[in-house]
Amino acid sequence: MTKRELLMQMSNFLEALIHDDPKRVPIAEVFKATYQGVQAPLGSGDIWGTPRRIPYRQTFVDDVTQTVCFSGVVTNNVIRQLWEMTDTEDVVDSPDRWMQKWWIYWVRLTVNEDGKICEIEEIARRETGSGMDVRPEHMVPPRILETPLPEDARTSRKEMIKIASQYWDGVNKLIDPDIVPMHPDARLYEVGTPVTDEMARPNSMKTNYITPRFKWDCIKRRFPVVDEVTGICISTNHMIAQEVSSPTGYVTDIFKIEYGLIKYIYAFHDHGITFVDWDGIGPQTSAECD
Per the CB < 8 A criterion, the answer to whether 181 and 155 are in contact is no
Contact residues for 97 (Cβ-Cβ < 8 A; gap 6+): none
C-alpha–C-alpha distance, residues 243 and 249, integer Å: 14
Q: What is the pLDDT of residue 100?
A: 82
C-alpha–C-alpha distance, residues 102 and 232, integer Å: 27
Q: What is the pLDDT of residue 96?
A: 45
Cis peptide before 51 (omega within 30 of 0): yes
Q: Where in the chain is the domain with CATH 3.10.450.50?
A: 3-141, 145-289
* Exposure class string for 237-267: b at 16+ Cβ within 10 A, else e: bbbbebeebeebbbbbbbbbbbebbbbbbbb
C-alpha–C-alpha distance, residues 289 and 163, integer Å: 9
Return phi, psi of residue 22, to 5°: -65, -15
Inter-CA distances, 139 with 8, 45, 54, 58, 127, Å: 24, 23, 11, 12, 11
Q: What is the pLDDT of residue 81?
A: 54
Query: What torsion do the CA atoms of 167, 136, 35, 10 make, to the nearest 10 degrees?
Result: -90
Q: Which residues of the chain have pLDDT under 70?
A: 80-98, 128-133
Q: What is the pLDDT of residue 120?
A: 98
145-289, what's its fold?
Nuclear Transport Factor 2; Chain: A, (3.10.450)
Q: What is the DSSP string of 124-180?
A: EEEP---TTSPPGGG----GGGGSPPPGGG---HHHHHHHHHHHHHHHHTSS-GGGS
- Give the amino acid at 104: I
Q: What is the pLDDT of residue 202?
A: 85
The model's pTM is: 0.90
Q: What is the pLDDT of residue 248?
A: 87
Contact residues for 269 (Cβ-Cβ < 8 A; gap 6+): 190, 191, 239, 249, 250, 251, 252
Q: What is the pLDDT of residue 90?
A: 46
Q: What is the pLDDT of residue 36?
A: 94
Q: What is the pLDDT of residue 285?
A: 96
Of residues 47, 50, 28, the one with CA closest to residue 36:
47
- What class is the 3-141 domain? alpha beta
Per the CB < 8 A criterion, the answer to whether 267 and 252 are in contact is yes
Q: What is the DSSP letter of 16?
A: H
Per the CB < 8 A criterion, the answer to whether 228 and 155 are in contact is yes
- pLDDT tens, 108-166? 999 999 999 999 999 998 876 555 667 777 788 899 999 999 999 999 999 999 999 99
For residue 109, the cross-strand partners are 68, 120
